Structure 1
Amino acid sequence: MKSKVVAALAATMAIGATCAFAANPFVDVPSDSWAYKSVVELADAGIIQGVDGQYFQGNRNITRYEAAEMVAKAMAHMDKASVEQRALINKLADEYADELNNLGVRVSALENRVGNVKLTGDARIRYRYQDSYKSEKGLAKDDIAGKKNDSSWDYRIRVRANAQVNDRTKVTYGISSDNKNFADNAQASDEDNDIYTDIAKVDYNFGGNNWNLSVGRTDAYVLGNAYGYNYGDVFDRAELKYKNDKFAATAGYGKFKTNGTDTYYGPNVAGKNVLDANGKLTSDGINGVKTGYGELEGFFGGGRAAGSAVGVYYNDFTRAGDTNNGEQNSFYADDLWGAYAKANLGKWSLLGNYEKVNFDKDIKTARSAKTDDASVWIGKLSYGKANFATPKSWDAWVEYINAQDGAFIGANSNSWRFDSHMDNIESWGVGADYTFAKNAMFQVMQSFGTNTKDGNAPDPEEQTRAQFVFVF
């Protein structure tokens, strides 16, 4: 293996005259050896170091990890390579991708290969079940959030194209199918417009890669390492971020979407939509709402890579031009602020998240007419870590949610739960993830102890979810 890897790397390195007079660092490589020139050039470039700094040991087989280390160092010299040479380095990097990932090299080196366009994606098949939502009286059982038989099963496919334009600029474009169910009675209209653009953005790194300017659409708006309680869907924005191993600061401005459309109207109290004087749905959902936002984060216990962090964040909401019974800016939430803490304790991981929504008291909707604002507390304890690249890896977790009425303002949150039952609840959940084959994972989740917090509505039924996820 060694001769093949060394020969390939030597062929790619345009070192030329810069090392023509470099000294041979290895006592076991004679000047008349067929590999002499290549070995000297690679050693001078820092790609190989030998054994004990003196011996090359050319007849010894090397491990894949040693080969990956040499590939990683070659990737650092991509700026010296021609298009054909970069293609060969990229091929070697793909061959040793898992080893590079485990060595922590994946990173900028793999993702910043100039001139490389990489397609990635995932496919999900899931099962979700919850009995009828009893608080919705007067509706037929099949009209509410409960899922039965084939309609409990759905699928989604996403594809991403990642193009590294130069060493600072990256373009990402992605498409996604909507969640389509397997029910035999699915309406033909359900098949229309189910493919949409969920990512279309340009990222520009500068300032020694500590600064990043990102402009365009992202598929999930989640600040920091928080739970993602309120929103986890398409978001159009311009965002500036500074980060190092100890600190990160984010500022941006954008507009919320739901599956890339402008047709979602969020549920109001007890999941009921609010009608205006003409019997039309009011624009009380989060779709189309604009927000300015910011976040400050600190990383500790080994820095950003260690997974331990604290953060605070803020959103200021507006919906210019909309009306609700004659009132402008009809979105009931005025602003939101939150804080999180995440601790990595070896195989254990603990997350705590708090958010508070301040109502706009001038907007005449059922929620914003309240005098009290709403908050949510979330805790999650995890053990282990399931990794798509590592078969038989697994994790298990338990979570707790305590949300006041009005704390949930969005649609398609990052939670595994039904969005219609994220608000005004106290609930526990458990789950597990298992990588049964490379790039293939099985996940299962179950809620329990779910209660309605305020009002006389019956408690929601418990939720069950299981899914297969495949990445490529």
Structure 2
Amino acid sequence: MKKSLVLAMAMALGVTASAYAANPFSDVPAGHWAYDSISKLAAAGIIEGYGDDTFRGDRLMTRYEMAQIVAKALAKGANVDKLAAEFADELDALGVRVAALEKKSDNVKITGEIRYHYKHQKNTNYGDKRYSETGLRSRLYFTGKVNDNWNYVGRIQNQQWFHKSDDDAVSNKGDEGTEFNIAKLEGRLGGVNVIAGRDDDVFANGYIYDGEHDAIKLSYGDKWYVSGGYGKLTDLNEDVADSAKDFWTAEIGSNIEGSFVNGKIGYLRNKFGNAGKELTNGDENVGIWYVGADFNVAKDLVFNAMYLRSNRDVFGEKDEDTGVITNHETKKDGYVFGLGYKGAEASEPGSWGLTARYYHQGRGTYLAHTIDGETGFATGFKGWSIGGEVAVAKNMVASVTYYDTKALKGEQEDNAKAKVIWSEFNVTF
């Protein structure tokens, strides 16, 4: 960076001197275009030049030299917020505190993620019917700092569908929608972490619920924690109107870095609306216990397991054409086992990971499952998945997962099965 450019930047700072000093530098003649500005900055003590009374304005300036100018301008009360943030590391090395300035200039931060996905599904219970879709989901997160303890977070999401088709027709091509689907306050009250508003989160690792909800959630502790929440599972109402009223949940567990095992035990209870009660044999409540653990069995290799137990052994299935609801018997319990090796880190190009899981869950043990495979069997489902991911570049991760699931035995035919290939490419910024 040439000093002539720095001078133009310095003039924009509005730094002035009360009086002009005599020409301080032998290589800056009185007729030079920057003479007045250099004189002002020198008189204000912001620039000093070199020990031989030269300014050397045509020489490239180092970042530390620029940081010294910014530091001196700060001391004079100049408004250099953006420059202070840019040269924060160098200023820190010079012992200049810029935290307050960074808070002012970065009061609202914008981050985002873009996901392109392709899905191919084959349902053997409907005569080997095939289905495919491609779409692009864009999300922008706005984080505003309220004070030292509280932030406001909002999210705008746009979903575009490029292609949706089955064996019969192509539909929704070119459809899209935009929504404001996260709006929450998060912070601390004493030692308690608080999230209040609309959020997007998982419960029981997503094996019970993964989606948006309006709630207040509290948690306390770090290595050992207790958490709870109360609100409404809003994604259930998007699937079936008036299917959810309110829920509450509680969980205790451990999160000890480097430990051989970490575990959790929790409970979630959901109260259904009228439409939801129709699908649960008239009972408005479903309660699900769960206990899970993660075992670090070797370097980069994690084995995890979760057991779930529901109070529901009957679940309804509504015929979309006739409106008739058929009640199906289902198991009250469920379990999931998984293996994970390494994992792709978006910040580390070339990092990669593999996962494999086995599922066996009665219909009463999940409300909106986290997997991208088929789970909509009236009696519950069992099956397995295997997938891999790789960070192809910084903040760019590609992944593909294969799911093979089928209905648990019940009134449905034994050949109620689905095979799904789900692939996606994620970009974060």
Q: TM-score, normalised to structure 2's length? A: 0.67
SS of the residue corresponding to residue 239 of structure 2 reads coil
Paired residues of 2:150 and 2:186 also in contact (CA < 8 A) = yes
Give yes or no for the alignment of 1:416 onto 2:369: no
Q: Which amino acid aligns with 2:187?
A: Y
Of 152, 172, 182 in structure 2, the residue corresponding to residue 199 of structure 1 is: 182
1:301 is displaced (CA, Å) by 5.2
Give yes or no for the alignment of 1:403 onto 2:403: no
SS of the residue corresponding to residue 416 of structure 1 reads coil
1:352 is displaced (CA, Å) by 1.0
Deviates more, 1:434-443 or 1:175-184: 175-184
Matches within 5 A, 1:422-441: 424-441=380-397
Please state which structure has a larger fraction of its residues in strand.
Answer: 2
Return the alpha-carbon distance in structure 1 between the equivalents of residues 170 and 184 of structure 2.
33
Aligned to 1:98: none
Alignment CA distance shift 1:90-1:230 (3 Å): farther
Paired residues of 2:313 and 2:331 also in contact (CA < 8 A) = no
SS of the residue corresponding to residue 454 of structure 1 reads coil
1:189 is displaced (CA, Å) by 9.8
Alignment CA distance shift 1:232-1:332 (3 Å): same
Alignment CA distance shift 1:417-1:333 (3 Å): farther
Aligned to 1:125: 116
Paired residues of 2:217 and 2:230 also in contact (CA < 8 A) = yes
Return the alpha-carbon distance in structure 1 between the equivalents of residues 192 and 284 of structure 2.
34
Q: Which amino acid aligns with 1:122?
A: E
Structure 2: which 5+ runs fail to align? 1-61, 63-76, 91-98, 319-324
**What RMSD, in angstroms, separates the aligned Cα atoms of the two structures?**
4.2
Give yes or no for the alignment of 1:247 onto 2:228: no
Q: Deviations over 1:259-316 (max 9, x none)?
A: xx84422xxxxxxxxxxxxxxxx85xxx5331011111123354xxx69521111112
Give yes or no for the alignment of 1:358 onto 2:311: yes
Aligned to 1:392: 350
Alignment CA distance shift 1:323-1:230 (3 Å): closer
Give yes or no for the alignment of 1:443 onto 2:427: no
Return the alpha-carbon distance in structure 2 between the equivalents of residues 89 and 288 of structure 1.
50
SS of the residue corresponding to residue 376 of structure 2 reads helix
Paired residues of 1:386 and 1:434 also in contact (CA < 8 A) = yes
1:86 is displaced (CA, Å) by 6.3
Return the alpha-carbon distance in structure 1 between the equivalents of residues 134 and 317 of structure 2.
39
1:322 is displaced (CA, Å) by 6.2
Return the alpha-carbon distance in structure 2 between the equivalents of residues 318 and 91 of structure 1.
51
Return the alpha-carbon distance in structure 2 between the equivalents of residues 374 and 93 of structure 1.
57
1:158 is displaced (CA, Å) by 1.1
SS of the residue corresponding to residue 345 of structure 2 reads coil
Paired residues of 1:360 and 1:368 also in contact (CA < 8 A) = no
Return the alpha-carbon distance in structure 1 between the equivalents of residues 280 and 355 of structure 2.
43
Aligned to 2:205: 227
1:343 is displaced (CA, Å) by 2.5
Matches within 5 A, 1:449-460: 450-455=405-410, 456-460=413-417
Matches within 5 A, 1:330-369: 330=282, 333-344=285-296, 345-359=298-312
Structure 1: which 5+ runs fail to align? 1-60, 62-81, 96-108, 266-281
Paired residues of 1:321 and 1:329 also in contact (CA < 8 A) = no
1:421 is displaced (CA, Å) by 5.3
Give yes or no for the alignment of 1:163 onto 2:139: no
Return the alpha-carbon distance in structure 2 between the equivalents of residues 163 and 414 of structure 1.
29
Matches within 5 A, 1:202-351: 202-207=185-190, 210-220=191-201, 222-223=202-203, 226-244=204-222, 246-258=223-235, 262-265=237-240, 287-300=243-256, 302=258, 308-319=261-272, 330=282, 333-344=285-296, 345-351=298-304
Return the alpha-carbon distance in structure 2 between the equivalents of residues 350 and 213 of structure 1.
31
1:200 is displaced (CA, Å) by 0.4
Alignment CA distance shift 1:229-1:190 (3 Å): farther
1:320 is displaced (CA, Å) by 5.5
Greater Rg over alpha carbons, structure: 2
Return the alpha-carbon distance in structure 1 between the equivalents of residues 197 and 388 of structure 2.
34
Return the alpha-carbon distance in structure 2 between the equivalents of residues 92 and 421 of structure 1.
57
Return the alpha-carbon distance in structure 1 between the equivalents of residues 144 and 78 of structure 2.
15
Return the alpha-carbon distance in structure 1 between the equivalents of residues 114 and 360 of structure 2.
32
SS of the residue corresponding to residue 219 of structure 1 reads strand
Aligned to 2:154: 173
Q: Which amino acid aligns with 1:296?
A: I
Q: Which amino acid aligns with 1:249?
A: V
Paired residues of 2:375 and 2:381 also in contact (CA < 8 A) = no
